[in-house]
Amino acid sequence: MEQPELLAGLAAAALAACSKPAKPVATPTASAPVPRTPLEGGATPRDAVHMLSRLSFGPRPGEADVVSHNMSGWLEEQLAPQTIHDPRGAAALVPFEDALAPSDQLEEAVAEAAAEDGKRGKQQERRDLLLDTQMTAVARHIASERQLFEVMTDFWTNHFSVSLQKGKVRFLAADFVERTIRPNALGSFVDLLKATARHPAMLLYLDNAESVAPKPGSKQAQKGRGLNENYARELMELHTLGVDGGYTQQDVVEVARVLTGWSVQDGEYMFRSRLHDDGEKTVLGTHFPAGGDEREGVRLLELLATHPATAHHVCTRLCMRLVADSPPPGVVTDAVAVWTATSGNIAQVIRAIVRSPAFWDNSVRNTKVKSPLELVASAVRAVGGHVDDVGLAKVLNKLGQAPLVAPAPTGYADSAAAWLSTASTLERMDVALGLASGKLPGVTVDLDHVLPLPDGRSLTVWRDATLATLDAMIPGGLGDHTRATISDWMARPKQPEQARTLAVALAFASPEFQRQ
């Protein structure tokens, strides 16, 4: 639901609190108010590049110019993804959509491969399924017109991290993203939370399916089964309140008791009343009377979703992704205010973040080191590349950020420190070299189209034109040193094609392209 009055009020408050002067415009007049942000007018292509680098997987050739004339329109359209016609996104999914088959069919396929070709067949089938599942994410992230939706799908998939490498989760993770993350990625946080809590992938990944309160004398009691705190803890620490969210070890135990019986049967969610703890519980000071059954779990999730600590934790995470590794406090405050007023309406919160002057401040632009996924996706988009097969998933596994295989429930890091090792920078250089030489696995690039060879032009004219095109491809543009280096090295090879390879490699390996 739109709440223009509220937003206008917040905007005024934020403006008053903003220490930096608003962006000056060339010819301010008494009647035209100075725009607070480029959304309201006076946007340059660089402003559009900034918005696209945070709310999409990077600009396509020419996109920033177009968007700069319609900043607010682009944002509103992206906040309502169902209104965007998306044949490219749909087509990109086609080669990998087998991975979205029901879990029992996926499991059967592995069993058949094992029957036909033993261990080798089983491993091959599992490997194929893993890569295809990862590509259902990567292919759409790159090709879809619904870019903000894809960014948020990635954000929530990581926030509610599950791993394809844990048991039967390998057959359920794709369904988890399709049925819980995607339908709610720009919707209501409480709906999203409830959907993830009931999905078998999450119940199995964090062991809640095994967590039981056995009745005395039952089979489970004889087997020594009992409470498992894994999901209860991560639910509060990672999904909602945050590690400093004020819960205690006793709260963890009580939450685990509330969620006993939330289990899995034949690849689907099932509440097992027999294994549910019927006693009374207290979570964060809230009393849950005895006999609450499945409903008390729903009540618990609502309690956690609407808790102030959750607003702060999740809004901070959002601002880390969309604004800066250490987001300015003002933008988090704006986001929290809208989160509270709208009971966690994700689209409204994102709108508030983007409307905050802090989002546009020079101090946050081009400061975030791209994660490997952002690097690869933005590189392919920048040259208008086409994704063909699972090659990119292999590249991302090597770079350490393939979808749905984060090594821990915390998911992948959203800040630079995690992505800057010597090994990963060497891999990033190889990605740039691969792109430049047409050898980036799984990607077809028509370099002759994007960066034509001289074709009769003088080499000097051609080099300048190539450098200008590359400059436009790199969000934020090329710095003087990079430009000089490219210029220098382009002049060395005799063959223009080799000069172009070097130039593209240097541009995409440049420090400028590693940031956004």
Partner 1 sequence: MTWSRRGFFAGAGAGLATLFARGALRAFAAPDASTKTVVVLMQRGACDGLAMIPPHGDPELGRARPSLATALGANLVDLDGQFGLHAGLAPLLDHWTAGRLAIVPAVGLTGASRSHFEAQDLLEQGGAPSDTGWANRAIAHRAHTDTTAIAVGNSLPRALAGDQPALVVEQSGEIGVARKTQPKKRDAIIAALTDLYAQGDDPFTSTARRALASAQRIEAALAAQPAATKPQGPIGQALVTAARLIRARLGAELIVVDTGGWDTHTAESQRLDRQFHMLGDAIAAFATELGDQLADVTLVTISEFGRTVRENGTGGTDHGTATMSLVLGGAVHGKRIVGAWPGLTTDKLFEGRDLAITTDSRDLLGDVLAGTLAVDSPTLAALFPDHAHKPLGLMRA
Cβ-contact 396, 373 below 8 angstroms: yes
CB of 351 within 8 A of CB of 318?
Answer: no
Size of the site for partner 1 (CB under 8 A): 39
- What SS3 class is residue 515? strand
CA dihedral of residues 124, 125, 127, 131 (deg, nearest 10) = 130
280 is an interface residue for partner 1 by CB under 8 A: no
Q: How far is CA 419 from CA 69, 219, 245, 422, 426, in A?
A: 34, 48, 27, 9, 12
How far is Cα of residue 181 from the mean position of the Cα atoms in its chain? 11
Nearer to partner 1, 90 or 491 (CB): 491
Q: How far is the CB of 515 from partner 1 (least distance, A)?
A: 7
Residue 369 binds partner 1 (CB under 8 A):
yes
β-pairing verdict for 281-283 and 268-271:
unpaired
Please report how close the Cβ of residue 175 comes to partner 1 at its closest, in angstroms. Answer: 21
Under the criterion CB under 8 A, does residue 423 sit at the interface with partner 1? yes
Using CB under 8 A as the binding rule, whether residue 363 contacts partner 1 is answered as no
Separation CA 245–CA 243 (nearest Å):
5
Q: How far is CA 290 from the centre of its chain?
A: 40
Q: Residue from 241, 376, 515, 516 that binds partner 1 (CB under 8 A)?
A: 515
Contact region for partner 1 (CB under 8 A) — 83-91, 163-171, 188-196, 286-294? 163-171
Regarding 27 and contact with partner 1 (CB under 8 A), the answer is no
Q: How far is the CB of 45 from partner 1 (least distance, A)?
A: 23
- Under DSSP, the state recorded for 24 is P
- Residue 225 in the binding site for partner 1 (CB under 8 A): no
494 binds partner 1 (CB under 8 A): yes
Please give the distance of CA 503 from its chain centroid, rounded to a whole number. Answer: 30
Nearest to 126 by CA among 92, 168, 67, 87: 168
Question: Are 222 and 281 spatial neighbours (Cβ–Cβ below 8 Å)?
Answer: no
Residues 377-406 that bind partner 1 (CB under 8 A): 398, 400
CA distance 478 to 515: 11
Cα-only R_g, the chain:
25
The CA distance from 399 to 191, in Å, is: 33
The answer to the question of residue 165 lying near partner 1 (CB under 8 A) is yes
Q: Contact between 420 and partner 1 (CB under 8 A)?
A: yes
Choose which of 425, 446, 459, 468 interacts with partner 1 (CB under 8 A): 425
**Is 153 a binder of partner 1 (CB under 8 A)?**
no
- CB nearer partner 1, residue 420 or residue 468: 420
Binding pattern to partner 1, positions 106-145, x when CB under 8 A?
----------------------------------------
Minimum gap (Å) between residue 64 Cβ and partner 1: 22
| CA 480 – CA 470 distance, rounded (Å) | 13
Give yes or no for residue 489 binding partner 1 (CB under 8 A).
yes
Nearer to partner 1, 406 or 451 (CB): 406
Shortest distance in whole angstroms from residue 499 CB to partner 1? 10
Instruction: Single out the residue of 84, 429, 450, 465 in contact with partner 1 (rule: CB under 8 A).
Output: 429
Angstrom distance (rounded) from CA 512 to CA 142: 20
Q: Please, which residue, 30 or 417, has the CB nearer to partner 1?
A: 417
Closest distance to partner 1 from the beta carbon of 384 (Å): 24
Stretch that binds partner 1, among 293-301, 308-316, 449-457, 499-507 (CB under 8 A): 499-507
**Does residue 481 touch partner 1 according to CB under 8 A?**
yes
**459 contacts partner 1 (rule: CB under 8 A):** no
- C-beta of 30 vs 426, nearer to partner 1: 426
**C-beta of 222 vs 495, nearer to partner 1:** 495
3-class SS letters over 37-71:
CHHHCCCCHHHHHHHHHHHCCCCCCCHHHHHHCCH
With CB under 8 A as the contact rule, the residue among 107, 294, 430, 464 that binds partner 1 is 430
DSSP line for 423-459: HHHHHHHHHHHHHHTT-STTEE--HHHHS---TTS-H
> Closest Cα partner for 22 from 14, 11, 34, 33?
34
Please report where in the chains the tokens 């390998």 appear, as a residue: 170
| List of residues 6+ apart from 45 with CB closer than 8 A | 64, 65, 68
Stretch that binds partner 1, among 13-21, 79-87, 377-385, 429-437 (CB under 8 A): 429-437
Minimum distance from residue 417 beta carbon to partner 1 (Å): 8
Window contacting partner 1 (CB under 8 A); options: 82-90, 179-187, 247-255, 501-509: 501-509
Q: Which residues bind partner 1 (CB under 8 A)?
A: 163, 165-166, 369, 398, 400, 407-408, 416-417, 420-423, 425-426, 428-430, 433, 481-482, 484-485, 488-489, 492-495, 498, 502, 505-506, 509-511, 514-515
